[in-house]
């Protein structure tokens, strides 16, 4: 059973899986040995070999620079700043951002001892300025205290660069009901009301 235990213990380290669900997942894998277990082993091994962090934007891809940085159809004047690669994926799924990205790799956090030098802020600053095509930076950090602190810090550092700094709109989520919304979101939505 050592082999099964090994699989269970490693699966249990994934976010969202505990010991019990890891055992269920392991059993399911063994029962679908050829259709799921072997393909997953190969996919993991291939991905571990081939995926690298893009030196330009911090995205994960198999090419250097990444597919988004290399894509000539992308608008070179816009950069969207996100905390993590997962946020980049979320924005890409919407299909509504045509520019390129910059992944900070986290947020400023006094509590966790994460300062500006621990994030990809210097490389962000090197992408704007004279001779660079970027004219607008869209800040898409999370609406948490740390995310907003980071957004403010980045805005300050960009003050002299001459680029326009914008942030995502805050308001009522699409499909959201006012009655179930938290007060902060509702207040923000009211403050940012738009003329029809």
Min CB(108)–a second copy separation in Å: 19
Spatial distance between the Cα atoms of 121 and 131, rounded to a whole number of angstroms? 19
What stretch of H or E contains 187?
A: helix 183-191
Task: Enter the tokens of residue 188.
Answer: 């923000």
**Nearer of residues 84 and 155 to a second copy, judged by Cβ:** 84
> How large is the greatest C-alpha to C-alpha distance in the chain, in angstroms?
66
Pairing of strands 60-61, 52-53: antiparallel
**Nearer of residues 99 and 106 to a second copy, judged by Cβ:** 106
User: Please, are residues 37 and 29 in contact by the beta-carbon 8 Å criterion?
Assistant: yes
DSSP state of 168: -
**Nearer of residues 16 and 72 to a second copy, judged by Cβ:** 16
Min CB(8)–a second copy separation in Å: 9
Min CB(138)–a second copy separation in Å: 21
Binding site for a second copy (CB under 8 A): 1-4, 6-7, 10-11, 13-17, 21, 23-25, 27-30, 32-33, 36-48, 50-51, 60-62, 67, 84-86, 89
């Amino acid at each position: 059973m050592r082999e099964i235990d090994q699989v269970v213990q490693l699966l249990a380290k994934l976010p969202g899986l505990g010991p019990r669900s890891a055992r269920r997942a392991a059993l399911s894998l063994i029962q679908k040995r050829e259709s799921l277990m072997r393909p997953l082993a190969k996919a993991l091994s291939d991905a571990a070999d081939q995926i690298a962090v893009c030196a330009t934007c911090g995205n994960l891809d198999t090419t250097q620079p990444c597919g988004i940085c290399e894509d000539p159809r992308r608008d070179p004047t816009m950069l969207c700043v996100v905390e993590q690669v997962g946020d980049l994926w979320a924005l890409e799924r919407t299909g509504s951002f045509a520019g390129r990205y910059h992944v900070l790799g986290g947020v400023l956090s006094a509590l966790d001892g994460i300062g500006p030098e621990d994030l990809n802020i210097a490389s962000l600053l090197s992408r704007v300025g004279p001779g660079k095509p970027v004219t607008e930076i869209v800040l898409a950090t999370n609406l948490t205290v740390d995310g907003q602190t980071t957004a403010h810090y980045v805005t300050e550092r960009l003050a002299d660069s001459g680029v326009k700094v914008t942030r995502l709109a805050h308001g009522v989520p699409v499909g959201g009901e006012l009655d179930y919304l938290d007060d902060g979101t509702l207040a923000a939505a009211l403050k940012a009301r738009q003329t029809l």
